[in-house]
Chains A and B, each alone.
Chain A
Amino acid sequence: MLVFLVRRLLQAVMVMLAVAFIAFLMFRYLGDPVNNIVSQDATQEQREEVRKRLRLDDPLILQYGRFVVNAAQGDFGVSYRNSRPVSALLAERFPATAELVLVAAILSLALGIPLGIYTALKPRGVLSQGLQILSLVGISLPTFVTGILLILVFSVWLGWLPSFGRGDVIDIGWWWTGFLTATGLKALILPSFMLCLFQLTLIMRLVRAEMLEVLRADYIKFARARGLRNRTIHFRHALKNTLIPVVTIFGLQLGGLIAFAIITETVFQWPGMGALFIQAVNFTDVPVMAAYLVMVSLLFVIINTSVDLLYNVIDPRLRTDQTRATGRGA
Chain B
Amino acid sequence: MRKFLLAATAAALVQLGLVGAAGANTLRYASAGDIYGLDPHSMTDSFSINFLLHVYEPLVRYNKELKIEPALAVSWEVVKPDVIRYKLRQGVKFHDGSDFTADDVVMSLMRATDDKSPIKGNLPALKSAETVDDYTVDLHLSGPTPLLNNYLTNIAIFDAQWLEKNGAVKPVNAELGEEGYTTTHANGTGPFKLESRRPDAQTVLVANEAWWEKPEHNLTKVVHTPISSDATRVAALLSGEVDIITPSPLQDAKRIAGSPGTKVLESPGLRTIMMNFNMRDKLVDGNVEGNPFRDVRVRKAVYQAINMDLVRDKIMRGKSRNAGMQIAPEVPGFDEKLNRRFPYDPAAAKALLTEAGYPNGFQFNMNCPNDAYVNDEEVCQAMTAMLAQVGLNAKLVTEARTLHFKKAQEGQTDMFMIGWATLPMLDGFSVLSAMLHSPEDKLGTWNPGDYKNAKVDELTKKIDVELDEAKRRQMMIEAFGITEEEVAWLPLHQQPLSWAVRDNVEVVQTADDLLRLWYTRIK
Q: Which residues of A contact B202 (CB under 8 A)?
A: 165
Please measure, in the bound complex, the distance between the C-alpha atom of A89 and the C-alpha atom of B180, giving whole angstroms. 14
Q: Which residues of A contact B21 (CB under 8 A)?
A: 183
- Output the least CB separation between A193 and chain B (Å): 15
Most central of A50, A53, A268, A271 by chain B CB within 10 Å? A271
Q: Which residues of A contact B36 (CB under 8 A)?
A: 81-83
Q: Which residues of B contact A163 (CB under 8 A)?
A: 232, 235-236, 239, 241
Which residues between 388 and 425 of chain B lie within 8 Å of chain A, taking CB atoms? 400-406, 409, 420, 424-425
- Output the least CB separation between A63 and chain B (Å): 14
- Asked if A319 is at the interface (CB within 8 A of a chain B CB), the reply is no
Please measure, in the bound complex, the distance between the C-alpha atom of A268 and the C-alpha atom of B36, giving whole angstroms. 20
> Contact size class for B?
35 or more
Please measure, in the bound complex, the distance between the C-alpha atom of A42 and the C-alpha atom of B201, giving whole angstroms. 30
Pick the contact of A85: B179, B236, B430, B442 (CB < 8 A): B179
Q: What is the number of contacts between chain A and chain B, taking CB atoms within 8 Å?
A: 159
Q: Which residues of B contact A88 (CB under 8 A)?
A: 179
Q: Is B121 in contact with A46, judged by CB distance below 8 angstroms? A: yes
Scoring B residues 164 to 195 as 1 if CB is less than 8 Å from chain A, else 0, what string do you get? Answer: 00000000101101011001100000000000
Scoring A residues 6 to 35 as 1 if CB is less than 8 Å from chain B, else 0, what string do you get? Answer: 000000000000000000000001111101
Please measure, in the bound complex, the distance between the C-alpha atom of A315 and the C-alpha atom of B65, giving whole angstroms. 75
Which residues between 144 and 189 of chain A lie within 8 Å of chain B, taking CB atoms? 148, 151-152, 155-156, 159, 162-169, 176, 181-183, 186
Q: A33-B402, A41-B430, A46-B121 are in contact. Are A182 and B229 (CB under 8 A)?
A: no
Q: A32-B405, A37-B44, A166-B201 are in contact. Are A148 and B174 (CB under 8 A)?
A: no
Q: Is B402 in contact with A151, judged by CB distance below 8 angstroms? A: no
Q: Is B445 in contact with A44, judged by CB distance below 8 angstroms? A: yes
> Contact size class for A?
35 or more
- Output the least CB separation between A209 and chain B (Å): 35
- Output the least CB separation between B434 and chain A (Å): 4
Q: A41-B430, A44-B445, A75-B177 are in contact. Are A84 and B183 (CB under 8 A)?
A: yes
Q: Which residues of B contact A30 (CB under 8 A)?
A: 400, 402-403
Please measure, in the bound complex, the distance between the C-alpha atom of A254 and the C-alpha atom of B391, giving whole angstroms. 56
- Asked if B486 is at the interface (CB within 8 A of a chain A CB), the reply is no
Which residues between 109 and 147 of chain B lie within 8 Å of chain A, taking CB atoms? 118-119, 121-122
Pick the contact of A271: B17, B201, B400, B430 (CB < 8 A): B201
Scoring B residues 437 to 458 as 1 if CB is less than 8 Å from chain A, else 0, what string do you get? Answer: 0000110011000000000000
Q: Which residues of A contact B10 (CB under 8 A)?
A: 182
- Asked if B231 is at the interface (CB within 8 A of a chain A CB), the reply is yes
- Output the least CB separation between A27 and chain B (Å): 11
User: Top 9 nearest A-B pairs by Cβ distance?
Assistant: A31-B402, A271-B201, A39-B44, A31-B403, A32-B406, A155-B239, A183-B17, A83-B174, A41-B434
Residues of B within 8 A of A (CB): 10, 13-14, 16-17, 21, 30, 33, 36-37, 39, 42-44, 118-119, 121-122, 172, 174-175, 177, 179-180, 183-184, 198-202, 225-229, 231-233, 235-236, 238-241, 371, 400-406, 409, 420, 424-425, 430, 433-434, 441-442, 445-446
A-B contact pairs, 29 of them (CB 8 A): A30-B400, A30-B402, A31-B400, A31-B402, A31-B403, A32-B405, A33-B402, A35-B401, A35-B405, A37-B44, A38-B121, A41-B433, A42-B44, A53-B175, A78-B175, A83-B174, A85-B179, A89-B199, A92-B199, A152-B235, A156-B235, A159-B239, A163-B241, A168-B17, A176-B198, A182-B14, A267-B231, A269-B225, A279-B33
